[in-house]
Structure 1
């Protein structure tokens, strides 16, 4: 069953087994034998018997290979190796197998298939040789490559589920139908503006709370692997950041392709590309904020509480819900990614004059008349847009980068205390 699962699902099955039969033993693709936490063999099960023969521990004919391994490696704690000759032989066999495997070249390849180069030695004053121990067995680039590959596989399987794809397509279709075929008129100015605020809010929140779970969920793994000297924290962090970006952005892109053209927000393709780019930047900025909160708190329940308060506060001060905020809190809006993505996208969408239609939406500009036009500058001023497109995009890029530095700082700061436990 497990072999069928591995082939059909493309999964790697790792399991321990108690007293397997000869047939089951030979069916394994790879065999890892441990003694006192040390590797004594890693490779093909059938080849393990030849390896034991080379070490002068040949398996008797007709004897179960698994039982022979257990006889060599499992010693009874009640046996006194100093006073019992049989006990001494068992301990000696285990010790020799551990030392023999340490001398094998393949032992250097067990961790991620990476060759470990011997560290140089130096002579000390008393004439003895001191071995310079390397903290990490693999280079930073090798660590980064392996961790990126691992993270990409994990994120791809977590994001590209049938339910997530259905969610993105479904929300895109519903949104497009609700804002179906908007015309470039005075009547639709607020509707088209609301489309973008909803889009930014939905996908930024989605990214925030998904990223929030990253470090609290992997906390035990991170500190365990770091304590064993498996990799640099920077290699892990960069791999996590880069590998998850393509999968994180794919679903919002599906949504934009469907909803934008159904809603007919602006029929210029370059505007579609620009607003989609703004959406992607806001998603990445939201993800960065989620990573920062998750790394600083590292407890999922507490991080969730903090994230709810922070995200809703940034949403409310983003400029769409409240225009007249108290002066003592008004400055908070300049920390909100919602504000900058909204301001940049509005300038792209309202890039041309808007015909007046007498609806009264732009009454101060059109005066309730059905003739004339409101210029793009007047519309953006009416919507409270601030800063140029380039300025707003620049701030979003900073909001994407700076919180990640903060998240890395918190992780790096926590590692010392955690590694001691």
Structure 2
């Protein structure tokens, strides 16, 4: 944002030439004067040249007859007769009956320096319209939406900032860290690190976040910044990259009047700096209402008013809707949009010949018809008659911003952020106490265990299998919830093309691997020598590496289940069922599985991990049970190793490695289908 230009822009945008009262004249004047003062230096070269992307590209947005519909969900039935009848009825139903219209012909326009407020009761279609304009809803959409007279393209996506109603910010990061990582990932490579940090510092000051810059975002049980500060941080997250079009969904929800007022003052400053701003708002205070330049009032998907916010009450007064008591203009408009006219005078002819219709519906229908007759033709005429956006801006909006950083640079930055955001989970005290406590408990239960007799050998083999169970379950459940928990963050940042999905996945799996290596290492360092396993350095490290391989493979399986389901509840259930299957076919409880079920054990990495641990820990030629009547026996002859050839080599290592890699490729593929196909 260029502070030195703010006053100049304000004078231009707020002072139209004398005699130009129409919206079309204002737009033409704003387009020409604004571009002369701010964008004469824009450099466009076609075919192999570049556009200077360091400035906020102005966007003149027009939308006409916008419609959006969703398919009606047919309730399922267990009765086959009802199902057949339902299918036949569906085939015979007309298309308009199979779909529900959410938006029913919305028209309007807005340019740089202006704030458009979308108002209406809950469920009227405000957020849907915002998502359609942002390009997040493309299917089942009709109408014409242009950005600088150009239809939506993927290149436009990186020019749009979208602030959702729910603040999607990592709770463990501070305000400054949140903005710094966003700047490092999204700002162009032409800027040095110092310039990016300076940009963050400027943004923090402009948004009034100096007092809380070092405070964690917080959320849930973690104390953090206030609601107003969270919302301003969300806005800062978007404006760091100078979006041309800034869309905000209910930015003042949950804020007190003072915080909401400060937020709107911030938005006014952003608009004066050359941005086009659209925000949905439910019922603002009168002070906030008068901060908007334009207003679009929606009722049941239909527009009932579009024009200057300050002229809205006057328009409805001209239709003979006059409040009988002092009212907030926003409250007056919302009452009209819902048809609640208890405290206002209304035209007497509304209810003529409509005795059977609900009075509130009659009011809404009357307003919709008046809009169609009085306002819509005028707006469409002005849209078509407005000055065409200059050709160089039409070309500029089609220039796609390429990745600002290489894959490796994105990986280095994102891995730092991932580690900071999850650091508390990695080094959680309860997790450490669990690893230490279980290791000590097992060490005491199997204190100085030996393999002198068959019973003692069976006990030690049971400990080996329990180690497999413990780290398989810990790592699966430690990984299965990662992607479902971070789904909202990932969708938001992928929609903004903040980084490559492959970078995110690599950072996630490698950073999580720190915990999956750290805790098993501490665990085995304590348990191994307490339990009386072979006291050789080679055997200890081979056992440790085997446990780590089991942990890493389990982590990949957990990631796969989480990415495939992407639901916290269902992914946990899927992991539980798979873990139970792996446990039963792991080779300890049932060694001789029936032939028709034998294929299950070959899918179980616990089966291969258990066999590998046995091969590492025991030698087939080793003698035991020497004090029995039959004399010494080899370990290979023990019933505990009926299905395990202790001299059979370590082929399980390659199988587990192949499984660990395959699980991760499948997890990435599922993640791509779940995230990028809806992006």
Same fold by TM (over 0.5)?
A: yes
2:449–2:532 contact (8 Å) kept in structure 1: yes
CA distance in 1, matches of 2:550, 2:288: 61
TM-score (norm 1): 0.69
Alignment correspondent of 2:632 = 372
Q: Deviations over 1:202-245 (max 9, x none)?
A: 11111011111011111111111100000000000011111111
1:186 maps onto 2:446 in alignment: no
Which of 622, 628, 641 in structure 2 is aligned with 1:382? 641
Inter-CA distance 324–12: structure 2 relative to 1 (3 Å threshold): same
Q: Give the C-alpha shift of residue 25 in structure 1.
A: 7.5
Inter-CA distance 35–204: structure 2 relative to 1 (3 Å threshold): closer
1:155 maps onto 2:422 in alignment: yes
SS at match of 1:167: helix
Q: Give the C-alpha shift of residue 390 in structure 1.
A: 2.4
CA distance in 1, matches of 2:518, 2:237: 46
CA distance in 1, matches of 2:603, 2:632: 38
2:452–2:625 contact (8 Å) kept in structure 1: yes
1:151–1:244 contact (8 Å) kept in structure 2: no
Correspondences of 1:258-269 after superposition (within 5 Å): 258-269=526-537
CA distance in 1, matches of 2:405, 2:554: 33
Which of 319, 325, 328 in structure 1 is aligned with 2:587? 319
Q: Give the C-alpha shift of residue 379 in structure 1.
A: 4.5
Correspondences of 1:168-179 after superposition (within 5 Å): 168-179=435-446
Inter-CA distance 254–130: structure 2 relative to 1 (3 Å threshold): closer
Alignment correspondent of 2:401 = 134
Q: Deviations over 1:271-302 (max 9, x none)?
A: 11111111110111111111111101111111
Q: Give the C-alpha shift of residue 37 in structure 1.
A: 6.3
Q: Give the C-alpha shift of residue 138 in structure 1.
A: 2.0
Alignment correspondent of 1:353 = 622
- Rg larger in 1 or in 2? 2
1:288–1:400 contact (8 Å) kept in structure 2: yes
2:448–2:531 contact (8 Å) kept in structure 1: yes
CA distance in 1, matches of 2:423, 2:266: 39
RMSD (Å), alpha carbons: 3.6
CA distance in 2, matches of 1:183, 1:412: 50
Alignment correspondent of 1:12 = 174
Inter-CA distance 234–185: structure 2 relative to 1 (3 Å threshold): same
2:615–2:650 contact (8 Å) kept in structure 1: no
1:225–1:231 contact (8 Å) kept in structure 2: yes
Which of 330, 338, 347 in structure 1 is aligned with 2:606? 338
What runs of 5+ residues in structure 1 fail to find an aligned partner? 1-9, 16-23, 42-64, 88-123, 360-367
1:181–1:264 contact (8 Å) kept in structure 2: yes
Q: Deviations over 1:389-417 (max 9, x none)?
A: 42011111111110110010011112244
Q: Give the C-alpha shift of residue 79 in structure 1.
A: 6.3
Inter-CA distance 216–70: structure 2 relative to 1 (3 Å threshold): closer
CA distance in 1, matches of 2:564, 2:241: 41
Correspondences of 1:79-118 after superposition (within 5 Å): none
Which of 540, 560, 572 in structure 2 is aligned with 1:272? 540
What runs of 5+ residues in structure 2 fail to find an aligned partner? 1-171, 179-207, 215-228, 243-261, 272-286, 295-306, 312-390
2:450–2:460 contact (8 Å) kept in structure 1: no
1:282 maps onto 2:541 in alignment: no
Farther off after superposition, 273-282 or 345-354? 345-354
Farther off after superposition, 137-146 or 349-358? 349-358
Alignment correspondent of 1:209 = 477
1:183–1:264 contact (8 Å) kept in structure 2: yes
CA distance in 1, matches of 2:626, 2:529: 23
Alignment correspondent of 2:512 = 244
Q: What is the aligned length? A: 330
2:524–2:544 contact (8 Å) kept in structure 1: yes
Alignment correspondent of 2:573 = 305
Farther off after superposition, 380-389 or 266-275? 380-389
Inter-CA distance 77–139: structure 2 relative to 1 (3 Å threshold): farther
Which of 412, 415, 419 in structure 1 is aligned with 2:672? 412
CA distance in 2, matches of 1:300, 1:130: 39
Alignment correspondent of 1:4 = none
CA distance in 2, matches of 1:256, 1:397: 21
Which of 647, 650, 656 in structure 2 is aligned with 1:396? 656
CA distance in 2, matches of 1:231, 1:38: 17
CA distance in 2, matches of 1:81, 1:398: 61
